[in-house]
């Protein structure tokens, strides 16, 4: 499973701290930031379980950051295709 979050994290050092905190809480998560993207993307991947979205949102909030889940555009596009 993969979740992608839009964030307001812009500093690489802060991003690294957040990644470390995510990995401490969930050792089976692979997390990374794309701070070059206009949405300052946080991407989390986990092959063995669902991603705990509420925890991630709460963690970023504890550090003073905002995050929201970005919708899966492929799934939305397929759903739109089936509606036609």
Q: What is the CATH number of the domain that holds 48?
A: 3.30.70.100
Give the span between the Cα atoms of 1 and 10, in whole angstroms.
25
Q: Domain residues for 76?
A: 2-83
Q: What is the tens place of the pLDDT at every residue in 12-70?
A: 999 999 999 999 999 999 999 999 999 999 999 999 889 999 999 999 999 999 999 99
Say what the pLDDT of residue 24 is. Answer: 97
Sorted by sequence, the CB contacts under 8 Å of residue 26 that are 6+ apart come out as 46, 52, 55
Count of alpha carbons within 13 angstroms of residue 21, beta-carbon side: 15
Q: What is the sign, positive or negative, of the torsion defined by CA atoms of 28, 7, 14, 11? A: positive
Domain count within the chain: 1
């Amino acid at each position: 499973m993969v979740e992608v979050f839009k964030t307001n994290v812009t500093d690489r050092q802060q991003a690294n701290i957040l990644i470390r905190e995510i990995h401490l809480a969930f050792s089976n998560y692979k997390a990374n930031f794309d701070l070059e993207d206009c949405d300052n993307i946080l991407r989390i991947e986990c092959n063995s379980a669902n991603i705990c979205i509420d925890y991630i949102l709460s963690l970023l909030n504890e550090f003073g950051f905002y995050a929201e889940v970005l919708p899966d555009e492929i799934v939305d596009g397929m759903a739109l295709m089936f509606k036609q």
